[in-house]
Amino acid sequence: MVLCIKTRKYLLIKGNILMKRVDRFRQIRRTRKRCLFTLLFSFLLFVSGVFIVDCSLNDLMNKKSGMGMVYIKQYGDYYYEIDVLGKSIALDTQYIIRDIAKVKDLFEHKDKE
């Protein structure tokens, strides 16, 4: 950094060019946006690659179309089986629906009072 005698402001030297304070912060914002865009694009590219490979392998190996990482199967009205990477989870939604109804009733009674 160099102190400018006329304006008494510090200037950042970039190569042979002196940068004013506003230009320096503008460049920092641009760099930050570029880094964020690069990270988001890389993550999106990685996730889409994993899904494409998963769909094609599932189609080749299991003769099923779609993703093989996550399956959701419904048994009856309230029972679901969720398969995540070969691990199975049984879910009974009857309890969840009942608890949601209780919470709704609780809020409705408070509104009436």
Per-residue confidence (pLDDT) for residue 92, from 0 to 100: 83
Sheet containing 70-75: order of strands: 70-75, 79-84, 87-92
- Report the pLDDT value the prediction gives residue 84, as an integer from 0 to 100: 78
The pLDDT confidence band at residue 112, using thresholds 50, 70 and 90, is low
The single-letter DSSP state of residue 13 is: E
At 97, the pLDDT band (50, 70, 90 cuts) reads: confident
**Domain boundaries along the sequence of the chain:** 1-66, 69-113
Distance of alpha carbon 20 from alpha carbon 3, whole angstroms: 11
> What confidence tens digit (pLDDT) does each residue in 8-43 have?
565 555 555 566 778 878 888 999 999 999 999 999
Token pair for residue 6? 């006329």
Q: What is the mean pLDDT of residues 64-70?
A: 71
3 contact partners, CB below 8 Å, separation of at least 6: 9, 10, 11
Q: What is the pTM of this model?
A: 0.49
Residue 99 has pLDDT above 70, yes or no: yes
User: Which contacts of 59-67 are long-range, i.e. CB under 8 A and separated by 24 or more positions?
Assistant: none
